Structure 1
Amino acid sequence: MHSAFKYGLFFSAALTLAPLSHAQGDAESRQDTITVTASPIRDSQAAAINAKRNADNVVEVIAADTIGRFPDQTLAQALTRIPGLAVEGDQGEARFVNFRGGRFRYTTISFDGVDVLGADNGRIPRFDSIPAVITSAVEASKAVTPDTPGAPVLGHININTYSPFDTDGFGLSASAAVGETSLNDAYRKRYALRTSYSGDQFGILAFGTLDKRDRIVDNREYGLVPGGVESLDFRQYRGFRENYSYGGKAEFRPKDGPVDRLFATSIFYEFVDDEERNQHVFDFLDFAGDPATLAYGTSGTALALPTRLLEHGRYETSTFTNTIGADLELGEWLVTPRLNYTETKNFTSIPLVQSLGFSPFLASYDLANINDPIVTVSDLATGGPADIDNSYNLDLFINVFYKTDTTSTKGLVDFERDLTLFERDTVLKTGFAYDMREAEGGNATIVQVGGLPINPSSYATSTPWNSDFTNSIGAVYYDNVAMGNDLIAGYMAADPNFEIYPDFDPVEQFGIEENLFAAYAMATSEFDWGNLVYGLRVEHTDFSTDGNQVIAGVSTPINASNDYTNLLPSVHANFDLSDSLKLRLSATTGISRPSYPEARASQSVDAINLMVSGGNPDLDAEESIGLDASIEWYFDTASILSASAFYRSIDNVIYPGATMVDGSNFAPGLFAPGEMVAYNSFFNGEDGKLSGIEFNYIGTFDDFLPVEGFGATGNVSFLDSEFYAPSIGITAPIPGTSDLIYNASVFYENHGISARVSYQRRDTWLSTTESGPELNQYWDETERLDAKIQYQLPFDLSGATTVIFAEANNLTDYNDRRYIGTSATIDQIEGYGKSFMFGFSVDY
């Protein structure tokens, strides 16, 4: 159905625009490249707006200097300044981008025009560790052209990196900052350095960054049942997180000949989470010993069985991308070959020590404020305070670890030239790319019941939790690091061959090979009224995966493959209605392939619970058809007022779910022919729709009032989405869509002072990371109030400018909430406090 509609749409668009083509005269040539350099805030803002104005599609541009003026901890947070973009994070830190309310996977990422693998599952880009120090500008394309790598459903983010030739001779940019988080005064530090040298023909650049922060995170989670909660989970996480990066670029620019530029770039960035978990769970019973349900808003007494979980875990995600390339002038053609190698690593280790208590406490509870539930426990026999650190009967070691490693080797070449087509000045562009990708990984859960070589209770300290929530249970910190080290040492003493990360069993492994071929052709034709960009992209995917099917402990290798070709046309019309007013109309298509875990050929049969789970190699890629319209008024050099609307029809929406299948197809002998069992996997949905309208303002008050230095930015997006999930028979929002997103900031810059206060808010959205087969876990509305002030010293040191700054984040001390179904049934809440940083930067 999509195919017929798709080509009808583009045929109609071509017929509609054809009369305009023949009715107009020649136009002046347009700027083909977007260059944004760092300068004072108004000039930087003007450069970014000018780049947007001269672009051939709907695009937003942020200059690096503009990013630096905001109190953003990560590039992900900075991207929320773009209309329609929002973020989903973890424990207060922005990580993933919801582009126009879509899923993470609907956005692709590239460095200097070369797309790279997503660090999460091969598809999903993470923005919390990308080094801002090498970012000269960020381009966010909302309506993509045929030369856009990956042909994304909603948008593409291209990170332009600095060149050593951006500064003549020696260049240096360095910054350092320290601070703390209000919760437990956790320490923070951030350093960045970029240095470069350029001569007449040769230039070299190197950079390195470190952002490390100690952390304390309050967390409460709720065991929901109809009518209330059956358990309460008190947690506090501590430890540290860090992002670090390093890399460099070398360029050679000959004076003569067909070679304009030769270059090599290498970028490595990694996110590390060193996590210490202290967790106490209370399962409630009535006085007959049966499970009890505590109603919201009530108080009373019940019995409570205690469970304790302790952990010193680690999460690591890294990307290492390397590109060599050339810019060549071969006759009338500009030829730009590139060769890229990228690898990503995603590793998680969660070594949990779980302790179970079989004798219940007497629990007094108060759920009047469900955001801060109160539970106090006492000894059932004596009535005195319960000892929650020494009341357990069985210890378990649950060793959970998983990893996914991916590699990509990609070659691509683009060709571009000017010509006359249908008596119009036209830029013709075509190109080819071939990408060979491999992924391998696995996951394991190894459980040791009893017989631990340590006593977990002996690692309790006397230090109570430092919490903004009420620590009614009297929880104290444990020495998780020493406990983890002693646990491993104890196992190794008993068995010298013990491995904390043994090889994955066959059932736990998967392997994937994916080859992608892409070719495109597009033209940009100039007219008196503006220009027309039109073309076609073809992408062919050849996918194969191997894994294992396990039945009653017997492993059988299975293989699956899939290949498909997508034709992806697009057309963009850009109308210059006046010198300051521009209208854009676009029709586009896109594709989003299944992630590697979703499509893996790994299945297992649970002979006890009689169900099957695993990946789905037969998943179809998500396909989209989109329409965009934008009206942009450039009323001053650094100002814009714009409105835009968009619509996406998305077929084959991928979602987690369960369906009934003939069990004999998976386990003949265990299931009789025709016996239906549950299959938990990933499936294609139907009738996906995503639409919205966006308004954006950037300007200074002196455009209207006799004041200097003051200005404001603001944008608001109204979004709507849905799709049908046939396996569970419901219509749900597309994960990541908030009905309302808005950002606003007020700034002042004059006399060397730059100050800005910014506010962000988004409505509730279906969770993209934790919503299970029921598709019913939502993030509650979130908001952030941040501020930054900086002062440029009125003198320089040997030509270097120095800026001192202070920044504050989450000034309202907002907590993140998630709920099931409705906001009245809270699922979890976590708080992480305010944070403050003080530092300086030097640029030479």
Structure 2
Amino acid sequence: MVNTQPKRLALFVSLSLLSHTLLAQNEQQTMEEVIALASPIRDSQKAAIEAKQHASNFVDVVSADTIGRFPDQNLADSLGRIPGLAIERDQGQARYINFRGAPFRYTTLAIDGIAIPGAENGRIPRFDSFPAVITRKIEANKAVLASMPAESVAGFINIETFNPFETKGFTLATDVGYGQQSLGGGTIDKVSLRTSWSNQNVGLSLFGSQNSREQITDNREFDLEQQDGKLVVNKVDMRSYQVKREDSAYGGRLEYRPQDSLDRFFFSSLYSEFQDHEQRNQYVLDFKAGAEAMGSSVAPGTKGQGLVIINRLLEDGLYENSTWANTLGADIQLGTWLVEGRINKTNTQSEFFLPIPYSAGGNSLASYDLTNIHDPLIELKTDSGSINDISNYALDLFILYGSSLDIDAWKYKLDAKTDVRVAGLSAQLQLGAMYDTRSAQGHGTDVSQQYHLWGVNPADFLTDDAWDTDFTNSIHATNYNNQALRQALEKASGGLRFTPTEANSINIDEDISVAYAMLSTDFAWGSLVTGLRLESTDYASTGPEGQHSDRFTDILPSVHLNVDVAEDVKFRASLSSAISRPTYNEWRASANIDTTEKQISGGNPALQAENAYGGDLSLEWYVGDASLLAIGAFYRHIDKVIYADSTKVDAGLYVPAFAGEQWDYSGFVNGQDGHFQGLELNLIAQASDFIGQHLDGVGFSANLTILDSEFTTLSGSRFSLPGTSDLIYNASVFYENDSLSVRLNYQFRDDWLSTTENDAMGEYWNAQKRLDLSLSYTLPNLGGMDISLYANANNLTDEIDIRYLGSEATPNQIERYGRRYMAGVRVNF
């Protein structure tokens, strides 16, 4: 693995030096004054509402200032406040978006209009590696136009980056923050810098960002059953994670605009990286195996005792992903046509490597008490009552878990638009074409193991450092020095290497050809936008035994009606269609093949894309200049829903010699039809717009979404779509004056089906809620600089995350990570 840290640091230092150089130059020049807005919350809401009001489709907008002034860790947190969007977290950190309660795959992510592949599997966007410094605004398109990617079943999220021509002359924005995670006292560091310069013809912007967060994640997992209404305790899994998560982003934009011309030419680059350094101390306490060893079974009840079999897992591992997107663009006026050309090269990489020393078969007499399931108690009958006394492990193994995926994507995109007259009415005609070619290579999650540790004894790395935990440490566990243990294993083995098996290989080539036409017609009462998009997909998936290829074409119409009911009231209605292609892990032509039993488990290269169609309705009332009241409804029908199940397949897909034979297959299949639908309410209220100027500065925002989804499996069973909560709501109350800004925000979503870590159709997240606070104070203007001090607090009520199987009576995971606090300073010049 190449260490890119020195390069990143060098670039960050270069950005800082460049900004100081430009600042010194500008002190000798006449500058256009940069005015700091006195009401940042109000003004940012006003800008977002204006963008929404004048859009030709159903869209919600988040401005850059809103992103910066919430206590957000990344863009996923920022998006979580949009109506109908909900967050799925990993160890407390926002990572994925359920757009309108739909599966992750139904959302497309783009940067400046260029859709990028999902780093993990080609389809699913992650938002935890994209910091706010890159963002001018975020557009969450819910009713998708013909000019937008067809894979936007639930919606299309476009991140618009900063343009150096927005402000003439030199600008500088920096943000430095420091904080702490309450559980474990881990440090949080944040630093970002964005600088730009432009004159009449040339503009340059550069940015850099680095964020780091250390935390303890407290985790308890269970294997529980219900028997005659009583709980049966099979296993209790106690884990303590020491986590350090880092994200960084670097890039910029160089743009040239010829004199007295509407043309422009630019090059932009964005590199974004996320790293998750994880140390694990884990004990699996198996009461069921202990009872079976004694020739009995576990008695029902939340309390019990008996022999327990103990397994110990230790780890010093790394998860990482990166996106590097480069775009060469030109906008040229050719007569009455404005032609926009883009060439984009994006590379995404995702991998993890988890070396785990695994000691199995230790044993002890023990008792358990799960009366309070949120704080499970296990007491070991050892000399000190500590699990450190266990040394009678029957077997030591070394297990390597790994996965990797490298995607290279080229996009060639051409859009052209011109004003026309249709039946005497003003209209705009837009035509476009795109060719998107991708190559994905890697392997899915793979496991290899060795039956020795090269003479290294994990017990030699045990410390006296007790677990930092909000649970009761009833087993008296202390931490291992996992980093030193890994170093010893690296040295003893000559280097830890992971060799993936062919059964999990991913080798996919995909070409997508696109053409679209869209006509926007203006009427006295509003506008009508009609469009047609054609997407032809040609893919080949190669496995160890052969290759499967296919080609299909989708014709996707859309129509959007916008009616100005009154000057401040707008009605919207739309019909649209979309597709959702399988992820690369699902589409891979590799699998575990048992020719004796005629069984196959793995990818499914013959998987078909899901097709979707539906509609949106909304009524929007724009009150004053910074308030909004809106109600919306939507429906999407999904054909051929993709999920994990068992069925029969033609064995020739994997082994040509067995073509025509129907074998048992376990993996990803197309089920029957499904749908998701919902009702959205959205209020953004400035008190001065409703009550009067005597309450100027007081504001409130709230949104509520009621959702429903369902799909039918091949066997006729019905489930909700992964990610659908029945109820989502957000609420914020704020106050601001010329210098002070205070905002309290609350988020809630109820239970939802999850397949993030488990493909079984029965694992659910329990309801989640978050209470966050942000404060900001702007100092008096100093030499044209806008300086503000801020303090943020996340998860003020110290919420925990819970997953369960089947029902809340049988949780399988409870996770704690504590509150998060940060303070810092922002400077804008």
TM-score scaled by length of structure 2: 0.92
Are 1:714 and 2:702 matched, yes or no? yes
Per the TM alignment, residue 184 of structure 1 is displaced from its structure 2 partner at its CA by: 1.1
Give the conservation status (yes or no) of the 8 Å contact 2:379–2:385: no
- The whole-number CA distance in structure 1 between the counterparts of 2:550 and 2:411 is 20
DSSP-derived class of the 1:303 partner: strand
SS at match of 2:44: helix
Which of 743, 748, 766 is equivalent to 1:756? 743
Judged with a 3 Å threshold, the aligned counterparts in structure 2 of structure 1 residues 436 and 673 are, in CA distance, closer, same or farther, namely closer
Q: Are the structure 2 counterparts of residues 212 and 386 from structure 1 closer, same or farther at C-alpha, using a change threshold of 3 Å?
A: closer
Task: Tell me how far 1:99 sits from its aligned partner.
Answer: 0.4
CA 789–451 in structure 1, closer or farther in 2 if over 3 Å, else same: closer
Structure 2 partner of 1:29: none
Match of 2:366 in 1: 363
In structure 1, what is the equivalent of residue 30 of structure 2?
none
Q: Which residue of 2 aligns with 1:837?
A: 822
Question: Does 1:800 find its partner at 2:785?
Answer: yes
Distance 1:357 1:54 in 2: 66
User: Corresponding residue for 1:768?
Assistant: 755
Note the C-alpha offset of 1:668: 10
2:498 equivalent among 488, 496, 501? 501
2:175 and 2:152 map into 1 onto residues whose CA distance is 35
Instruction: Tell me the distance in 2 between the aligned counterparts of 1:190 and 1:649.
Output: 43
> How far apart, in 1, do the equivalents of 2:506 and 2:683 lie?
48
What is the alpha-carbon distance in structure 2 between the residues aligned to residue 440 and residue 804 of structure 1?
A: 46
Partner of residue 24, structure 2: none
The 8 Å contact of residues 430 and 518 in structure 2, kept in 1 or not, is answered as: yes
- 2:459 is the counterpart of 1:457: yes
Residue 181 of structure 1, CA deviation:
0.6
1:761-799 deviation per Cα after TM superposition (whole angstroms, max 9, x unaligned)? 001000031242x40000000000000000000232x21
How far apart are 1:510 and its partner, in Å? 2.4
Which whole-Å deviations, capped at 9, do the CAs of 1:310-342 have from their partners, x for residues lacking one?
Answer: 000000011000001011110000000000000
What is the rounded CA distance, in whole Å, between the counterparts of 1:562 and 1:584 in structure 2?
A: 38
CA root-mean-square deviation: 2.0
Matches within 5 A, 1:214-613: 214-227=214-227, 228-257=232-261, 260-284=263-287, 285-286=290-291, 289-290=294-295, 292-293=297-298, 295=300, 298-358=302-362, 360-379=363-382, 387-443=388-444, 444-492=446-494, 500-502=497-499, 504-548=500-544, 557-606=545-594, 611-613=599-601
CA apart distance, 1:383: 9.2
SS at match of 1:758: strand
Report the equivalent of 1:80. Answer: 80
Partner of 2:685: 699
Per the alignment, do residues 288 and 499 of structure 1 end up closer, same or farther by CA in structure 2, a change over 3 Å counting? closer
When residues 630 and 565 of structure 1 are mapped into structure 2, their CA distance, relative to the original with a 3 A threshold, is same
Contact 1:115/1:150 (<8 A) preserved? no
Map residues 63-142 of structure 1 onto 2, 5 A cutoff. Answer: 63-142=63-142
Q: Return closer, same or farther for 1:249/1:665 CA change in 2, 3 Å cut-off.
A: closer
Do 1:287 and 1:302's aligned partners in 2 also have CA atoms closer than 8 Å? no
Distance in 2, Cα, partners of 1:644 & 1:672: 51
Measure, in 2, the Cα distance between the counterparts of 1:366 and 1:833.
24
Query: Which amino acid in 1 is paired with 2:789?
Result: I
Q: Distance in 1 between matches of 2:380 and 2:106?
A: 48
Map of 1:118-197 to 2, 5 A cutoff?
A: 118-197=118-197
What one-letter code is carried by the residue in structure 2 that aligns with 1:458?
D
Structure 1 Cα separation of the partners of residues 280 and 434 of structure 2: 46
Deviation of 1:143 (Å): 0.3
Is the aligned partner of 1:789 residue 2:807?
no
TM norm structure 1: 0.90
Name the counterpart of 1:553. none
Aligned AA (1:197): W
Please give the alpha-carbon distance, in whole angstroms, between the structure 2 residues aligned to 1:656 and 1:317.
25
Q: Is the 8 A contact 1:203 1:252 kept in 2?
A: yes
Counterpart CA distance in 2 for 1:445 and 1:368 is 36
Percent identity reads 45
State the distance in 2 between where 1:236 and 1:392 align: 20
Q: How far, CA to CA, are the matches of 2:778 and 2:247 in structure 1?
A: 27
Task: Tell me: CA distance 1:750–1:230, structure 2 relative to 1, closer, same or farther (3 Å).
Answer: same
- Offset of 1:288 from its aligned partner? 6.1
Equivalent-residue separation in structure 2 for 1:365 and 1:127 (angstroms): 40
Report 1:10-21 matches (<5 A). Answer: none
**Are the equivalent residues in 2 in contact too, given 1:151–1:589 (CA < 8 A)?**
no
Conservation of the 8 A alpha-carbon contact between 1:395 and 1:452 = no
Residue pair 1:803, 1:840 contacting (<8 A) in 2 also: yes
Asked whether the equivalents of residues 106 and 151 of structure 2 are also in contact (C-alpha less than 8 Å), the reply is no
Counterparts in 2 of 1:140 and 1:351: CA distance versus 1, 3 Å: same
**Contact 2:546/2:655, CA 8 A, preserved across alignment:** no
Query: What SS does structure 2 have at the residue aligned with 1:275?
Result: strand
Measured after TM superposition, the shift of residue 611 of structure 1 is 3.2
User: Cα gap change, 1:678/1:76 in structure 2, threshold over 3 Å: closer, same or farther?
Assistant: same
Residue aligned with 1:591, SS: strand
Consecutive unaligned residues in structure 2, runs of 5 or more? 1-35
CA 1:597–1:685 in structure 2 vs 1: closer, same or farther (change >3 Å)?
same
State the secondary structure of the residue aligned to 1:486: helix
Give aligned pairs, total: 784
Aligned CA distance change for structure 1 residues 607 and 542 (closer, same or farther; 3 Å): closer
Helix, strand or coil for the counterpart of 1:183? Answer: coil
Quote the residue 2:795 is aligned against. Answer: 810
Q: Give me the whole-angstrom Cα distance separating, in 2, the residues matched to 1:559 and 1:662.
A: 14
Unaligned runs of 5+ in 1: 1-36, 493-497, 549-556
Say yes or no: does 1:632 pair with 2:636.
no
* Aligned counterpart in structure 2 of residue 741 of structure 1, from 728, 740, 749: 728
Deviation, 1:665, is: 8.4
The CA deviation string for residues 629-680 of structure 1, in whole angstroms up to 9 with x for no partner, is 00000011100000000000011111011124577986799x9997x76411
